[in-house]
Each structure stands twice: as C-alpha cells, then as structure tokens.
Amino acid sequence: MHKILVTGASGQIGTELVARLRQIYNIDHVIATDIKADGLNESSGIYEILDVTDGQAMHDIANKYQVDTIIHLAALLSATAEAKPLLAWHLNMGGLLNALEVSKSLNCRLFTPSSIAAFGPTTPKNNTPQDTMQRPTSMYGVSKVSGELLCDYYYHKFGVDTRGLRFPGLISYTAPPGGGTTDYAVEMFYEAIAKGSYTSYIKQGTFMDMMYMPDAIEAIIKLMEADASSLKHRNAFNISAMSIDPEMIATAIRKHIPDFKLGYYSDPVRQAIADSWPDSIDSSASKEEWGFQAAYDLDKMTDDMLSHLASRLVV
Ligand code: VAH
C-alpha cells in the first residue's frame, strides 16, 4: 500500500487529486502539503505546511511519514511565470530538484507534471508527436522542458522511478486555476452560470488541448500504477482529451444556456503564449504504454461542469 506525499495540494490539480487518493488508499497514507495554511482546516486528513524550495523540510516530512511516492505539483503556471520569470525558475526548478533529491535519498517514486507548454513555435502544431522538437519560448515552458530532462536524468543516472505527463489545459469546478493561459476555459463556465456571458482574452480560432480534471486525476494514478516494464517513455507523456477553441466551448454551453454570449478582448501576453503551443497533440504513446483513455469529451464535460456549478453558484 503506497504512502504518498503531495506538494501543491491546495492547487487546482492537488485539491482533487488528494481527495481521490484518500478514497483509493488509506486516508493516513496521503500526506497533503502546501505553502498555504488554508488547507489545514479544510483537509480531512494529514496536512503539513511545506515550502518546496526548502529541501530539508521536504526530506523531513517525507521521512517522518515514510512515504514511497512523491507527487510534486507545486509550481507557477504560464502567465504568472511570464510576469515573474526569476521566481518561476527558482520555484519550478528549485522545488523539482528538491523533490528529485528527496526521492533519490529515500527511494521514492516521483510524479511531476509537464505540459503542452514544453513545446514551442517550431514544434509541429497538429497531432504533435510524443518525440519531437521542444523549443518553448515561455519561462514556464523552459521550466517544463528542463524538468522533463532533469527527471529523465535522475532515472537514467540514479535509478529514481520518475514519471510525468504533458498536461493540456485542465478544466475543473473544485479549485479555480491560478495564473494559467488556459484559465479562460474554466472562467467561461463560471461566468456562464453567474452572468450568462463571458469575455475571452484568448482569440476565436486559437485551438489548444484541454482535459476535464477527473480524467487528469485518473491518468496520474494509472501512470503511477503502471508496470515500469511497459514504459518506453517516462518524462513526459503526451495526453489530451480534446482540441478546442473559445467558440467550441460557447457552442457546448449554449446547449444548456441558449442565450449565452461570448465576447473577446486583447491580452497580448497570454495570446502569444497560447499561439506558441500546439493546436493538438498525439496521445498514442500514453494509450499504448499504460492504457490512457479519456472519459470526458467537450459535451460530457460541459454537462458535468454546468450542473455542479449551477448547484453551487446559484444561491
Ligand atoms: C497554464 N494551465 O495555462 C496551465 C497549463 C497547458 C496549460 O500548463 O499555464
């Protein structure tokens, strides 16, 4: 039975992942950590304050609970990273290096997410291959491709069982995202319920890969439970559930809210980041090597998002 330490547990992925892990494994085998203290009173299990740039603190918590798996999520996302590049490098790379060193010294398996942001404008934009050109032009993307290389290094050099996923934009109703380029896709659902309209900072016709959070959570667990001998790749696997633009989301929303209105405004920074990413990536390696299969398409995700948000936002 695994004992799992999660960093960034109060974030968009961490919030849902910790809840799911506590359902699957013993609740006392999941150690949620974050730099934020708000999780202390919300958490229904073990929760520790952890700044991932403090390697000794991470080691001490991992050792205290004798964990065998670290799921390292703490990082700055693309838009925030572009505004604070030095902080992003320090946190994203310093935190990951600490997680790798702790995994090496305590013989833990390590999962950390990469992103479609690890690709750049010279990458093939459609059906982007698993193995291809990676020259990202955002600080977030530079930290993601560097992280992929560092995790592969620790696997080949020190035998650390590192695994990762190149996540697309993730859509969820539980914890809002913070500082991402794909946040528009989440905001649109919230404002469709709250206001019946949304003004997007991403232009019509800007296609990006997206995935519903339940599929992302299941993918992390399935990859970490996969037999190592089946993995030809490790850091990191392409996965996606859909390639969509703002208009496609609006059309899906209008099947539930017919009068929903979508407008646009210019955000050159986030539009430039989005333009540098692929339109659609090829997930075949994930399907072949560890059985990835998304359960939610755009319509099924929209139905689930709106029904959950409607029950929460309409007072
Ligand atoms: C971001 N949500 O927008 C993240 C993700 C593919 C996008 O990495 O920065």
Distance, CA 275 to ligand 1 centroid (Å)?
A: 13
pLDDT, residue 315, reads 53
- Ligand 1 pocket test target in 82, 166, 181 with most atoms within 8 Å of CB: 181
Cβ-proximal residues to 110 (8 Å cutoff; 6+ apart), any chain:
69, 70, 71, 72, 99, 100, 103, 151, 154, 160, 161, 162, 163
Burial category of 219 from C-beta neighbours within 10 Å (exposed 0-12, middle 13-18, buried 19 and up): buried
Distance, CA 66 to ligand 1 centroid (Å)?
A: 32
Distance, CA 122 to ligand 1 centroid (Å)?
A: 19
pLDDT, residue 111, reads 98
Please confirm, yes or no, whether 296 is among the known catalytic residues: no
Distance, CA 169 to ligand 1 centroid (Å)?
A: 5
| pLDDT tens-place values along the chain, 315 residues long | 689 999 999 999 999 999 999 999 989 999 999 999 877 666 689 999 999 999 999 999 999 999 999 999 999 999 999 999 999 999 999 999 999 999 999 999 999 999 999 999 999 999 999 999 999 999 999 999 999 999 999 999 999 999 999 999 999 999 887 899 999 999 999 999 999 999 999 999 999 999 999 999 999 999 999 999 999 999 999 999 999 999 999 999 999 999 999 999 999 999 999 999 999 999 999 999 999 999 999 999 999 999 999 988 665
- Nearest ligand 1 atom to the CA of 182 is 3
pLDDT, residue 45, reads 92
Alpha carbon distance 81, 95 (integer Å): 14
pLDDT, residue 53, reads 98
Reported as type and span, the H/E element at residue 309 is: helix 298-313
Nearest by Cα to 177 from 250, 80, 257: 80
Nearest by Cα to 69 from 39, 36, 15, 112: 112
Other CB atoms within 10 A of residue 88 CB: 23
Q: Is 278 in the pocket of ligand 1 (CB under 6 A)?
A: no
Q: Is 180 in the pocket of ligand 1 (CB under 6 A)?
A: yes
- Nearest ligand 1 atom to the CA of 113 is 8
Q: Is 138 in the pocket of ligand 1 (CB under 6 A)?
A: no
- Nearest ligand 1 atom to the CA of 78 is 9
Distance, CA 129 to ligand 1 centroid (Å)?
A: 19
Which residue is catalytic, options 25, 47, 65, 140? 140
Q: Are 188 and 198 in contact (CB under 8 A)?
A: yes
Check: pTM over 0.85? Answer yes or no.
Answer: yes
Nearest by Cα to 196 from 262, 271, 138, 295: 262
pLDDT, residue 51, reads 98
- Nearest ligand 1 atom to the CA of 167 is 6
Q: Is 117 in the pocket of ligand 1 (CB under 6 A)?
A: yes
Domains in the chain, ordered, with CATH?
Answer: 4-168+211-238 (3.40.50.720), 172-210+242-278+295-312 (3.90.25)
Burial category of 306 from C-beta neighbours within 10 Å (exposed 0-12, middle 13-18, buried 19 and up): buried
170 has which bridge partners? 211
Strand locations in 29-96 (E): 30-34, 46-49, 69-72
